[in-house]
């Protein structure tokens, strides 16, 4: 009995130590509606960010995500840190979430994050008419060209990811960056999600950033959701159980990346 108790106490100690690993870490999330669902303070259980926090135990976790956001810029995209949109628009892009974050760090509103997580791509795949050039260029092609000078010159998914990550690494050099591909989506379609995810993964590899593949390894499967809503409420956005599954998976995946 004493041996069993000792083992249990050891397991609790290990778990507590693990949970405390990130107590001093400030985390920032960028993304689209599935991240936005958790709220700016990551306090809504409908979003994966709440479950991520409950598993990862950061000191702080702030979301700059917006519903409708895309990685891909347009020829009309400009830097805009004050505008607000919950639908697809020229300036509702990851590029501007990054500059909102950079401004918040510079002004002391946001602590310098140890970790920045970017989960986006669903809208790039779903609303292709709004981002007609998104899939017109591979990562190899984007990286063979000179880095775009501004967002309006980066109108493909690959060039947008490249530019955004370059800004993040330049402005927040001490932050660790993790990219996450979109989960499967009934409305966006399997082929489009796969194409978007492959480009994001290729860009991450080119830049040297870790990529978590929700499109292949996540719990949300479009075929299942099409037949019966299991982890989403509409085939595209997580319900509470889907948020839990994804949030905990992301926390474990980032821990595994950190351990390597």
| Residue 5 covered by a domain | no
pLDDT of residue 10: 45
Whether 104 is covered by a domain: the verdict is yes
Tell whether 38 is covered by a domain: yes
Is residue 141, in this structure, part of any structural domain at all? yes
Q: Is the dihedral of CA 87, 92, 98, 101 positive or negative?
A: negative
**SS3 per residue for 235-256:** CCCECHHHHHHHHHHHHHHHHH
For 51, the token pair is 């479950």
CATH code of the domain in which 61 resides: 3.40.50.1110
pTM: 0.90
What are residue 118's phi and psi, to 5 degrees? -115, 115
pLDDT for the residue 7: 45
Give the model's pLDDT for residue 2: 55
Residue 6: the pLDDT is: 47
pLDDT for position 1: 52
Which helix (DSSP H) or strand (DSSP E) does residue 54 occupy? helix 48-56
Over residues 192-203, the pLDDT tens digits come to: 999 999 999 999
Q: Is position 145 within any domain?
A: yes
Number of domains in the chain: 1
Residue 14 counted as domain residue:
no
Euclidean distance between CA atoms 128 and 188, whole angstroms? 9
Which among 133, 104, 115 has a CA at the least distance from the CA of 56?
A: 115
**Residue 71 sits in which domain range?**
23-259
Integer Cα distance of 175 and 188 in angstroms = 31
* Residue-level pLDDT at 22: 74
Residues of the chain falling short of pLDDT 50: 4-20
């Amino acid at each position: 009995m004493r041996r069993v108790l000792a083992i249990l106490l050891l397991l609790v100690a290990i778990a507590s130590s693990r949970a405390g690993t990130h107590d001093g870490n400030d985390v920032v999330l960028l993304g689209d509606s599935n991240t936005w669902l958790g709220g700016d303070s990551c306090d809504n259980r409908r979003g994966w960010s709440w479950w991520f926090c409950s598993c990862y135990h950061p000191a702080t976790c702030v979301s700059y995500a917006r519903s409708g956001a895309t990685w891909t810029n347009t020829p009309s995209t400009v830097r805009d840190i004050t505008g607000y949109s919950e639908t697809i628009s020229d300036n509702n892009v990851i590029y501007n979430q990054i500059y909102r974050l950079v401004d918040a760090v510079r002004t002391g509103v946001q602590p310098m994050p140890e970790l920045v997580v970017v989960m986006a791509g669903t809208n790039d795949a779903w609303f292709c008419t709004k981002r007609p050039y998104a899939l017109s260029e591979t990562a190899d092609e984007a990286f063979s060209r000179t880095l775009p000078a501004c967002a309006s010159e980066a109108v493909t998914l690959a060039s947008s990811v490249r530019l955004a990550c370059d800004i993040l690494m330049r402005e927040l050099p001490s932050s660790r960056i993790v990219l996450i591909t979109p989960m499967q989506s009934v409305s966006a379609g399997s082929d489009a999600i796969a194409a978007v995810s492959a480009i994001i993964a290729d860009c991450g590899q080119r830049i040297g950033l870790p990529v978590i593949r929700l499109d292949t390894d996540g719990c949300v499967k479009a075929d299942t959701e099409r037949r019966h809503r299991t982890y989403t409420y509409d085939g595209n956005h997580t319900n509470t159980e889907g948020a839990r599954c994804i949030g905990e998976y992301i926390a474990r995946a980032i821990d595994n990346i950190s351990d390597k």
